[in-house]
């Protein structure tokens, strides 16, 4: 039996599902009305689809309404999708914009309160409370990670250290000297910190007080979780969110670690078939779609996240009745098609991390010399492996190649680098470099 911690918002998080659904319907009707009357983008989308706010009589009716996609937000950059005048907006964030124009999101005072509330639920899910010292290594700035974890820490009354990303050795000193008990970071940066802890000659069990960590903002596998838990001596919780919906706090694991509970009173989830757009039943994997139920400044209807996962609705051991989403299996747009075969970066990570001789830092390159897709993986050797010399490395490359070919059904080059041979990142790691369009 998993640990039991107090649920932050007992009334909502353990509400009987039929009551929760009533609340969701009422809020969804308000949202539909709000976007139709205030946001020209939605007026156009609704009219195009021939629907009116009054058509939403049940939760199932949502399927009649149009989707919103990232391009809609870009086309109305920066503030077109806002449902309030700018003077009512108290905070603005944006996504990194690595795949195009920035996506902008805004919050009213009340939106900020709700964000703090859902982040408090996140912390409480992992037993974090007043008295904890939270080492927040998510980036501060336009990215929602840093500030989201920051306001949630205040909401639960804990002490927060706004370290942000970077200056890694100093972070280790801070963790040790300030007695950090909770670590919040991207999983890839957590590994960088683990490395720095080892480099400083510290034993995380004895020299650090870390107890739990909340890791998210990028995909990570269960093998990565084991690695982080072992090397930092803490219990790792997966947390999910996206700037468009609110930032971190959309969902989080509980101590049962069997999926991430969604704050369903604020964010209504659907799973759809990504090609037909048809809604899929619980327990069937597909693309995750969200409708915000309480956002004032930036309400979104049926927003297609491109993330692939599955929803489960049965009650959890922890007592929560809100649905659980499975660990993100990747994005519908991060699937690589290599010579016609679908390959997900998470499959590659699973294979790489099954070799104890390798360290969990890697980059996947895709090239197309002469009309032929070529997949190459660069991964780091552990210190021990590297010191065994060239022949052992060559032999190891052969084994990894074989392991990948068996898992992916497509051949893949493997290049084992020296320790620290792969660039570290302080935020979200770049794991795939697709050079085919270049
Ligand atoms: P940015 O675009 O600036 O990187 P976002 O907050 O918009 O920031 O990124 C959200 C995306 O990050 C999600 O749609 C999802 O693909 C990914 N993500 C967030 N949390 C997780 C998680 N726990 N596991 C896997 N992917 C995640
Ligand atoms: Zn649970």
Q: What is the spatial distance between Cα 319 and Cα 317, in angstroms, rounded to a whole number?
A: 5
- Ligand with minimal distance to 14 CA: 2
DSSP secondary structure letters along 399-435:
HHHHHHHHHHSS--EEEEEPTT-S---SSS---EEE-
Question: From the CB of 334, is ligand 1 less than 6 Å away?
Answer: no
Record: fold of 338-434: GMP Synthetase; Chain A, domain 3 (3.30.300)
Instruction: Tell me the CATH class for 10-333.
Output: alpha beta
Please identify, by atom number, the ligand 1 atom nearest to the C-alpha of residue 307: 16
Question: From the CB of 240, is ligand 1 less than 6 Å away?
Answer: yes
Question: From the CB of 27, is ligand 1 less than 6 Å away?
Answer: no
Which residues make up the CATH 3.40.50.12780 domain(s) of the chain? 10-333
Question: From the CB of 143, is ligand 1 less than 6 Å away?
Answer: yes
Cα of first residue to Cα of last residue in the chain, in angstroms, is 52
- Ligand with minimal distance to 186 CA: 1
State which of 217, 274, 308, 332 you would mutate to test the pocket of ligand 1, scoring each by most atoms of that ligand within 8 A of its C-beta. 217
- Ligand with minimal distance to 258 CA: 2
The two beta strands, 336-338 and 341-343, are antiparallel
Q: Taking the model in full, what pTM does it have?
A: 0.90
More confident residue, 340 or 13: 13
Mean pLDDT of the chain: 95
Question: Is the pLDDT assigned to residue 1 strictly greater than 60?
Answer: no
At 39-84, the pLDDT tens digits run 999 999 999 999 999 999 999 999 999 999 999 999 999 999 999 9
Which of 203-217, 388-402, 420-434 is the least confident region?
A: 420-434
Q: What is the pLDDT of residue 330?
A: 82
Question: Is the pLDDT assigned to residue 145 strictly greater than 60?
Answer: yes
Which residues make up the CATH 3.30.300.30 domain(s) of the chain? 338-434
Asked if 413 contacts 370 with a C-beta cutoff of 8 angstroms, the reply is no
Question: From the CB of 307, is ligand 1 less than 6 Å away?
Answer: yes
At 351-380, the pLDDT tens digits run 999 999 999 899 999 999 888 899 999 999
Percent of the chain with pLDDT over 90: 87
């Amino acid at each position: 039996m998993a640990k039991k911690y107090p649920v932050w918002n007992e009334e909502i998080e353990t509400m009987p599902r039929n009551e929760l659904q009533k609340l969701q319907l009422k809020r969804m009707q308000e949202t539909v009305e709000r976007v139709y009357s205030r946001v020209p983008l939605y007026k156009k989308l609704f009219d195009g689809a021939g629907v009116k706010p009054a058509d939403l009589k049940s939760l199932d009716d949502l399927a009649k309404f149009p989707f919103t996609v990232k391009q809609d937000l870009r086309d109305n950059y920066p503030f077109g999708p806002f449902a309030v005048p700018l003077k009512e907006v108290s905070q603005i964030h944006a996504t990194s914009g690595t795949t195009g124009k920035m996506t902008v999101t805004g919050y009213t005072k009340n939106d900020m309160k709700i964000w703090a509330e859902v982040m408090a639920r996140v912390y409480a899910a992992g037993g974090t409370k007043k008295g904890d010292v939270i080492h927040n290594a998510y980036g501060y700035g336009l990215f929602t990670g840093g500030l989201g974890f920051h306001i949630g820490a205040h909401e639960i009354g804990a002490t927060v250290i706004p370290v942000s990303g970077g200056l890694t050795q100093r972070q280790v000193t801070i963790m040790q000297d300030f007695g950090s008990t909770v670590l919040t970071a991207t999983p890839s940066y957590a590994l960088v910190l683990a490395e720095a802890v080892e480099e400083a000659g510290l034993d995380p069990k004895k020299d650090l007080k870390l107890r739990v960590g909340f890791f998210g903002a990028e995909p990570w596998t269960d093998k990565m979780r084991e690695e982080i838990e072992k090397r930092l001596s803490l219990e790792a919780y997966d947390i999910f969110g996206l700037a468009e919906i609110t930032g971190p706090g959309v969902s989080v694991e509980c101590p049962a670690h069997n999926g991430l509970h969604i704050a369903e009173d604020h964010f209504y989830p659907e799973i759809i078939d990504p090609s037909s757009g048809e809604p899929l039943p619980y327990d069937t994997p597909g693309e995750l779609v969200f409708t915000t139920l309480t956002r004032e400044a930036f309400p979104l209807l049926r927003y297609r996240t491109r993330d692939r996962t599955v929803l489960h609705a049965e009650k959890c051991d922890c007592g929560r009745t809100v649905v659980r989403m499975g660990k993100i299996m990747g994005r519908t747009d991060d699937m690589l098609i290599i010579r016609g075969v679908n390959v997900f970066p998470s499959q590659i990570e699973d294979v790489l991390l099954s070799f104890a001789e390798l360290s969990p830092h890697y980059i996947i390159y895709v090239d197309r010399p002469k009309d032929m897709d070529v997949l190459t993986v660069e991964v780091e050797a552990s210190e021990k492996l590297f010191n065994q010399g060239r022949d052992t490395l060559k032999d190891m490359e052969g084994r990894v190649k074989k392991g990948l070919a068996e898992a992916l059904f497509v051949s893949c080059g493997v290049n084992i680098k020296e320790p620290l041979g792969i660039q570290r990142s302080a935020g979200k790691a770049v794991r795939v470099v697709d050079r085919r369009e270049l």
